[in-house]
Amino acid sequence: MKTSFVVLAALTMLVVPHRAQCQLDPEVLGKAPVDAWPTYHGDYSGRHYSSLSQINLANVKTLSLNWVYRANLSARGAVSGGTISQDLPPRTPVLYGGVFQSTPLMVNGILYFTAPDHAWAIDAHSGKEIWHFYWKSPAGGPVGNRGLAMYKNWLYFETTDCYLVSLDANTGKERWHKMIADIRGEYTTTVAPIVVKNHLIVGVGGDNLDVQGWLESRDLESGEIQWKWLSTPRPGEPGSETWPNTFVMEHGGGMTWQPVTYDPNLNLIYVGTGNPDPTYRGDLRLGDNLYTSSIVALNSDTGKMAWYFQCSPHDTHDWDATQTPVLFDGAVDGKPRKLLMLASRNGMLFVVDRTNGEHILSKQFAESANWSKGFDAKGRPVPNPDKDSQRGGTLISPNNGGAQNWPPPTFDPETGLLYMNVAQGYEIHYSYETAGKAFGDAGHTSHAVGGLGMSLKAIDYKTGEAKWVHPYAGTEWNPPRPDHDGGLLSTAGHVLFAGDPTGFMVAYDPETGRQVWHVGLTREMTNTPITYMLDGKQYLVFAAGDELYSFSLPQ
């Protein structure tokens, strides 16, 4: 039976004053998260793993609800803060799509999280609101927001109309805002920025028109640009030979709309890049189209590329590689290696040496994937041209949502397993004639046609094989998009937390996939759960729709 949270949600609407000045020690960012969750991934590794064990396999079944915070903006009227970003009428303060996709930060007893054009601070003990900031954007659209970055007493987030905004963490008042991109080019910004040393790493999204992607570093104090890495090369640079001409290359996509990961010892940032543009018209951009649909390592101080690995050469199905690059140390052929693993939207898993990009393992993790002929000597998939769009239609898997999407997987160093939700859907892609010269994706359409379902998989990084699989009942003929059910969290308490697409939060035994606890929600989980210690108690926090939930063990 699903738990009712109506009364608790109403109680948490009260606004309370800030209890204390909040400062984040920058040293915390490079450490395993314990009494804070200071950055999007918890730490720089992208593992979404916690060393906490107060909540464990033996007692997780006794978890109980502490509080529920509900945004419910339509019932709240005016909100404080905010800036009109352009000389256009601002939108009313609504929560786009009615969901939180943001991974909250928790620092010194305060939770910070976002929705498109909104930021909040609430008391982590009680769920009571401290402040709420609204960016009065004239834009809006089908985008989410993954969250904020924090440095000392400053917060940073991106808006729907492509501004970077810095707030005072104590008051929610704006410090400054800087334009990232021009929305007239159909750019969007959804990424949670990441603080690396004295750099704020900022990404950009949008692939509705033929535009170019990039990743940039901003100064933490002023917001000014320090460096900018373009995700397609300049004429004469390495990689330019993989494009048919300069114009196409300079409008070739490669968006960077996911938070990066970082190795402090190597001083390398790891970013996954998006699909090439025009998305489905490979005939307009012959070649591999570097550095789109790739894992790229950049020097954090200069933005210079150290190495790359392309996950989808000449992608023609919107299978970008913007999933989380997970960093871990492991054994390969009995020798210790510094590894990076990425489960791509295209249904393929890649393991590379993160020091130099050397290929270690390539493996198909979605059985339904039918677009590739296998892998080449470099471990890259070999596209099957017969699976491009055709006049009579071509049956393709994964579907447009991908086998993976933005919700992060989790890697447990104790089990050596990567856990992720896998969607195995099919789509029929059609091509058709257009009058005059084709522009962008004109000449293409597609329709989803069911699939093999959605499941939670535990993948061994050494082999790429699944140790166990938990199918989600009811998804067999219409697998949900893998961007609708949030990310995953594993802990040293030997517990794996994942949202169920039917509207439950579930705890699993990470060794076997056995369900050990669940709680009914008002809808499916929509963000990535976090955990932290606060006053000697371990908390579990996650979102479903416009509600944020806090659980802990009973006293």
Which segments of 90-222 are extended strands (E)? 105-107, 110-115, 118-123, 129-134, 149-151, 154-158, 163-168, 174-179, 194-196, 199-203, 214-219
CA 425 – CA 97 distance, rounded (Å)? 23
Q: Calculate the alpha carbon distances from 248 to 131, 206, 310, 410, 457 in Å.
A: 46, 16, 19, 37, 38
DSSP 76: T
Q: Which helix (H) or strand (E) holds 10?
A: helix 6-11
Is there a contact between 96 and 115 (Cβ–Cβ < 8 Å)? yes
Structure tokens at 373: 């002929």
What is the spatial distance between Cα 138 and Cα 117, in angstroms, rounded to a whole number?
10
- CA 201 – CA 108 distance, rounded (Å): 23
The separation between CA 33 and the C-alpha centre of its own chain, rounded to angstroms, equals 18
d(CA 171, CA 148): 15
Q: How many residues does the chain have?
A: 555
Amino acid, single-letter form, for residue 401: G
Whether residue 301 lies in the annotated active site: no
The DSSP output letter for 102 is -
| Angstrom distance (rounded) from CA 416 to CA 450 | 32
- Token representation of residue 439: 């522009």
Strand intervals (E) in 406-523: 410-412, 417-431, 444-460, 466-471, 489-491, 495-500, 504-508, 515-520
Give the tokens for residue 301: 């101080």
Q: Are 299 and 380 in contact (CB under 8 A)?
A: no
- List, in sequence order, every residue forming a beta bridge with 446; answer none if it has no partner: 429
Q: CB–CB of 352/295 below 8 Å?
A: yes
Catalytic residue among 123, 318, 412, 546: 318
Report yes or no: 102 and 158 within 8 Å, Cβ to Cβ.
no
Q: Quote the strand ranges of 71-117, DSSP E.
A: 105-107, 110-115
Q: Distance (Å, rounded) from C-alpha 496 to C-alpha 498?
A: 7
Q: What are phi and psi of 113, to 5 degrees?
A: -155, 170
Q: How far apart are CA 478 and CA 361, in angstroms?
A: 31
> What is the DSSP code string of 347-387?
SEEEEEETTT--EEEEEE--TT--SEEEE-TTS-EEE-GGG
As annotated, the active-site residues are: 318
